[in-house]
Structure 1
């Protein structure tokens, strides 16, 4: 059979091409049908093997000999596998000629098998770089608050680091000591007012909800009365703020209590009573911090230090094209983890081509991370579509 490495690389290249060449979609279907046929044959072989083992157990003490009845099955199976291999090889040659591909991208044993970087058992995805000034400024606002209820807005385009900044502040040790109560609410585009109050009560140690609409708000007020609290309303989109007016009016005021609102729209923050001096807009990462964040992912085994000079130029070219966006940097960095030098070059070329067609480093990096998944994980990835937005997923459930 064709080697597993070459087959996997071929399917990856074909997956990328089919998005640009609709005529290849049918070929992809045919290829996968051939793979399914091969799996069916292997399943038949397993069934045949188990049946033979049972026969041998029944005939204990008998002289074990080759059964002539196996010959037709072996001949038929061998012929089917040869036909499948021939069809796959023919399809690959036709597509290579059609696309003008002189050779499929794959690691070269001469320069890659000895240059594979060691992989750590665990990479910490919570590592943050370049937000020290952002968190320092917002912490200072919170610690100096003496208004009836300070409202802080963190605004900016998607994936610029609004939620990450808010989490850094929320989990800070000094903030933990300063506030007696803390609540984090993810506000989706399809939120309900009752869901928001239920989430607040959960952080306050009360998962129950009354029948009366005003009951949960009275409970929240009771839990927070006389205490300094911090409320984070993350990712607010709504243009109708009657729900917020009701919650805001029902919250205790004073004691330096504060609310942090993350949103993409400045107008949303303004309508949620954030004043202009208390609006913070995270900036893109600097060139230095972008490289530092990138190195923490593929070089986690060496504490974020690139020890191989041949990777510097390739890595810095990739980081430059991420334009300081943390999610793009982490996504591409994750792909490079445990890759050969030849694969770094191939991925850098592919990333460049994606950006030439669509100058969006976030979408290009996410598309790249999906394309680099093995085929069986691409199917598993679809399972995420079963879960609603901002749903907490246990790893045991997802694995099952």
Structure 2
């Protein structure tokens, strides 16, 4: 196996070329073999942050931080340090120049070391800023985008405040869970004394595909999820539905996107005792192939009239919400048991969009009101974040346009 250091003896130019090649390979009708995945590298610098339209990796470590410093300059400095570390980590290097074993033996290493010898595994790191960052601590209130309006309370949700919200989030996606955990651990280490971890979530088995070269994944209810998800190949729709534009009202967000997260616990034991017929009618799709009710294949055009009026697919369909689309890249999770013999399991929902007020909010309002799936699920956490545009080069950093 090639080590992380060996892979990137090629330098940044090699990293960019490898990343471009990886994206090009995604236009083929079959996914690359597993070994190709772990050697995969995505460019860190670009117009948009990686980890949004990037073909969804298999593992997630998501974290939300509270900022505990009240010094604006110190926060901006932290974002610069994080960006430098992220640029290294996503290219298969260690978090700091001296790594886990270099530098003075009398000082703490500037990398924790658990990813030594591991390949890059397609690691991406994506940052976002929550509504709470725009209070009076840092003089950012006037720069809060209108699209970052607090989400309304939806019927039936039972949110836990301790695992909701957050000033800053970081989404780490990779094909190796240790690589993703290593990245978040090192950002938390670098941020010590300036940020504290509010909550974090591990995820596995992506539940959505973000490229047509990927097979549609399944959620823990056994159904294919995100068949009609926005894909990186949908250039026109991405411009219209995903990326914030200069005229949207917050110039610093141009080229960025808005992230909504929801931790959705599934009562899998009850679901598992439900008949196959009812399961399929609830979703509006057949369980094996994933075909819409009344059709034969997964990607056959949906006939909404063929399914029950409250079928999940019908309630969430773009035609019911002014053609609103979401780019979803959620993950399954299992957090052990609840102490009563039931799995604490479900979906960590992740969706990117241009404006949650006209995309996520009306879709979720419809689902919360009428979706028969509500008998089997419970929303326990929620997050909303403004993810700024990509980092252009080594002189740029996450959020620079916000702090300018």
Q: TM-score interval w.r.t. the shorter chain?
A: under 0.3
More strand by share: 2
Bigger helix fraction: 1
**TM-score w.r.t. length of structure 1:** 0.22
Higher relative CO (Cα under 8 Å, sequence separation at least 6) belongs to 2
Instruction: Give the alignment's TM-score, normalised by structure 2.
Output: 0.22
